[in-house]
Amino acid sequence: MSNVDLSVNIGKLKLQNPVMLASGTVGYGNEISQFTDLSKIGAIITKSVSLKPRKGNPPQRIVETSSGMLNAIGLANVGVEQFILEKIPFLREVNSTLICNIAASSIEEYVECLKILDGQDIIKGFEINVSCPNVKEGGLVYGNDVSAVGKITEKVRAVTDKLLIIKLSPNTAHVSDFALVAKKEGADAVSAINTLVGTAFDIYTRKPKIKNITGGLSGPAIKPVALAKVLEISRKVDIPIIGIGGIMNWQDAVEFMICGATAVQIGTVNFINPNAGIEIIQGLQEYCTKMKMQSISELTSSYNLE
């Protein structure tokens, strides 16, 4: 056994390791729990929860692309009440840190949703999705507007003392402007990135392969973009960053941490290998031992740009 310290601190929350499961890729944890040991994961981020249940977009909602996937789920979820009644009891049994992702179509809805969830002691933090590309209201409208992201952060900060993460969109010119406003308004951390807007067409029918026409691109195809966004934030804003985008193995996770991430989230890889999180944690441990590091946090922003 190695004695490398894999724990990381984000705001006042200490995670046993830096690997989290990304929102929307593991539902509420129940299905994936058959294939992996959730108690060993750094944290689980829930599918975006909204105030009322949402059916999401009509199918086709997912399509595979070169080195990635396009999805336009449209934030289908059970809504906050069902989430508390039906999903939290299972999540209570899994001994893992739970972070609840929230989506909304108005600032009031974010606040209302968060107020309802804040009393649940099992929820250790919130990730605010201001950046979903697949819904008409909310989503990108907010994710693209610095002052709206500032306002949302300010209002949700006022109703919770728990860890507050703002999930940023890559579909903007300067992601660091958004990280800066999130920090200014009291966020503890930012996560980057959500998916990139993309599309795919069938060349015979000439129709989009996704009913919504566009979807969010994720997977290995977006990793270089995500790394550049994480690096940009790290160089310009002093705030913990959770790196997301195309992480498939421990080497990718290390790369994100070198570029500025304190922790990482894995999404698309869960569909290919639901045990990937555990394998990545093992790989990180072996890497740190090999590199003679005592703590994995030494990796964060350890880039050499000379």
Ligand X SMILES: Cc1cc2nc3c(=O)[nH]c(=O)nc-3n(C[C@H](O)[C@H](O)[C@H](O)COP(=O)(O)O)c2cc1C
User: Does residue 132 have an active-site annotation?
Assistant: yes
Query: By C-beta, is 4 or 127 nearer to ligand X?
Result: 127
Question: Which range of residues in 109-117, 202-210, 263-271, 287-295 is near ligand X by CB under 6 A?
Answer: 263-271
Q: What is the DSSP letter of 197?
A: E
Using CB under 6 A, pick the residue from 8, 13, 17, 23 that binds ligand X.
23
Q: What is the DSSP string of 116-170?
A: HHHT-TTEEEEEEE---TT-SSSTHHHHT-HHHHHHHHHHHHTT--SEEEEEPPS
Positions 178 through 197 that interact with ligand X (CB under 6 A): 194-195
**Contact (CB, 8 A) for 263 and 296:** no
Window 36-75: contact mask with ligand X (x via CB under 6 A): -----------xx--------------------x-x-x-x
Window 92-111: contact mask with ligand X (x via CB under 6 A): ---------x----------
Using CB under 6 A, pick the residue from 8, 10, 20, 24 that binds ligand X.
24
Question: How far apart, in whole angstroms, are the C-alpha atoms of residue 306 and residue 303?
Answer: 9
Q: Tell me the one-letter amino acid at 289.
A: T
Strand-pair category, 13-15 with 8-10: antiparallel
Q: Does 125 bind ligand X (CB under 6 A)?
A: no
Question: How far apart, in whole angstroms, are the C-alpha atoms of residue 269 and residue 220?
Answer: 9
**Residues tagged active-site:** 132
Residues at the contact surface with ligand X, assessed by CB under 6 A: 22-25, 47-48, 69, 71, 73, 75, 101, 129, 132, 167, 194-195, 218-219, 222, 244-247, 266-268
